[in-house]
A and B are shown apart, each in its own frame.
Chain A
Amino acid sequence: MKFTEEHEWLRPEDDLIVVGITEHAAEQLGDIVFVELPEEGTTVSKDEEVVVIESVKAASDILAPIDGEIVEVNDVLANDPGKVNEDPMGDGWFFKIRPSEPSQMDDYMSEAEYKDMIS
């Protein structure tokens, strides 16, 4: 599992990468009330805005951490965005992406490095 400076986690699952936000990020955002996910089948580039999160405080954008194709999104979040607060590292995942440049994963932090960054 890898972590970005934008507080996303990336978990390899077969040939896909599952993406979500960390517990730390979910806490900072506060109660999440709306999540807008990309359409399945969309091709995205690294650093492109792909998800919009609205919390009780403000709107935030989530950037695509790598190039690839969005192959699945977590539809549950449309009606139950609070899942992101309840279980950010599990059921609160955002999307699964098929990477076109898997080596881009190497740029990101290990869990220990991420914990260091937020401490």
Chain B
Amino acid sequence: MSDAPQDAPLTRLKLHDLHAELGAKMVPFAGHEMPVQYATGVMKEHLHTRAAAGLFDVSHMGQVILKGADPETLALGLESLIPAAVLGLGQGRQRYGLLTNEAGGIRDDLMFANRGDHLFVVVNAACKAADISHMREALGGIEVVEITDRCLLALQGPGAEAALAALAPEVAQMRFMDVASVTLAGAEAWVSRSGYTGEDGFEISVPAEAAEALARALLAQEGVLPIGLGARDSLRLEAGLCLYGHDINEETTPLEAGLGWSIQKARRKGGARAGGFPGAERILAEVESGPARLRVGLRPEGRAPMREGVALFDGETPVGAITSGAFGPSLQAPVSMGYVPTALCAVGTKLAGELRGRMAAVTVDSLPFLPAQFKR
């Protein structure tokens, strides 16, 4: 989700007028005019999501369907582009995956779901055009369809289940990473129990014509407030989740990013379908022997955030840089993520970050900063 060039015309969300009515401040992001916050403000929106429930409009993200072949062909096709196992993922289940490049770097991160006769894939807004043409070029015999007539809403927080179950009781039965078709606001929604906040919650693909009715019905539930991109960023940072274009990019490998868990056994050395994805040689070697550097959690001393780009030092020696950083409202402390050599990745390692020309103390911490609240 890196930022798009400023000169391109901005796409308006289908729910633009609703955001305006709710007092949103709109900003350009990844080629879209997006609500960064509402009248509540970033800090309170963040805390509200962790305490009750937040509704996010993430319709800027890319929704893609892979279809037109038998399930095994679809699964093996996607497996040729990502290190995750697709074959063997049960119907009605979702997984996290990475599109890799030949050097072992990350082209994008995505979610993919087995929906029976097709795979449903959600990719980052800033990468979606490139991802789709990449998939079309690489996946002969598979139809790659961009879905443009649906919105994507996320409902996150401990109150998410009750709020969505008030409209469709069956969602209470779903567990983390389940996907299902559910009738919401009179339309067929594709619901997954997942999110980008570290909280329990749902991501809901809904036909555009029903999106406003669904958003209003959810906002009418007790404890549900609209939440902007600002809080979405601090929520995902506290949850230790990567932001594409910042914490992961074409230069970072899955193992360096600490995302080795997204490479299931079947795709590793000795597995039933080992390798066979771009960059497999380097990535699988790193599975065996470990990467040279690693994404870690970092806790700056004091209250000043260390943001993206802050250089990290071990004594006088430059050792890495911060890739995301902000003040964590739930922790009431600044939190960052960045890359350091593996030798310096142990929790408790003391480093320094260069902040406005001065060295400030920062300590390596484990990720996530807050325990995840998923309903497994």
Contacts and interface: CB of A to CB of B under 8 A. Distances in A.
Interface in A28-49: 30-31, 33-34, 36
B149 to A, nearest CB: 33
A73 B303 CA distance: 18
B307 A59 contact: yes
Interface string B270-309: 0000000000000000000000000000000011110100
A56 B234 contact: yes
Contacts of A59: 305, 307
A27 to B, nearest CB: 9
A30 B326 CA distance: 13
Contacts of A57: 42, 230
Contacts, number: 42
A81 interface: yes
Contacts of B327: 33-34, 54, 56
Contacts of B302: 34
A62 interface: no
Interface string B348-364: 00000000100000000
A81 B42 CA distance: 15
Contacts of B303: 33-34, 54, 78, 81
A36 B326 CA distance: 16
B307 A31 contact: no
A34 B360 CA distance: 14
Given A54-B327, A56-B42, A56-B43, A34 B234 contact: no
A59 B302 CA distance: 15
Interface string A72-89: 000000100100000000
B362 to A, nearest CB: 14
Given A33-B327, A34-B327, A54 B41 contact: no
A34 B42 contact: no
Contacts of A58: 307
B126 to A, nearest CB: 19
A71 interface: no
A48 to B, nearest CB: 14
Contact of A30 (B37, B304, B307, B356): B37
Contacts of A33: 43, 303, 305, 327, 334
Interface in B1-48: 37, 41-44
A25 interface: no
Contacts of B305: 33-34, 54, 59
B135 to A, nearest CB: 35
B356 A31 contact: no
A81 B329 CA distance: 13
Interface string B50-62: 0000000000000
B304 A56 contact: no
A63 interface: no
Residue among B43, B44, B234, B307 with most chain A CB within 10 A: B43
A36 B302 CA distance: 11
Contacts of B41: 30-31
Nearest to B328: A33
Nearest to A56: B42
A36 B304 contact: yes
B326 A52 contact: no
Nearest to A31: B43
Instruction: Give 6 nearest A-B pairs by CB, closest first.
Output: A33-B327, A31-B43, A56-B42, A34-B303, A34-B304, A54-B305
Interface of B: 37, 41-44, 230, 234, 302-305, 307, 326-327, 329, 334, 356
7 contacts: A31-B41, A31-B44, A33-B43, A34-B303, A52-B356, A56-B42, A81-B303
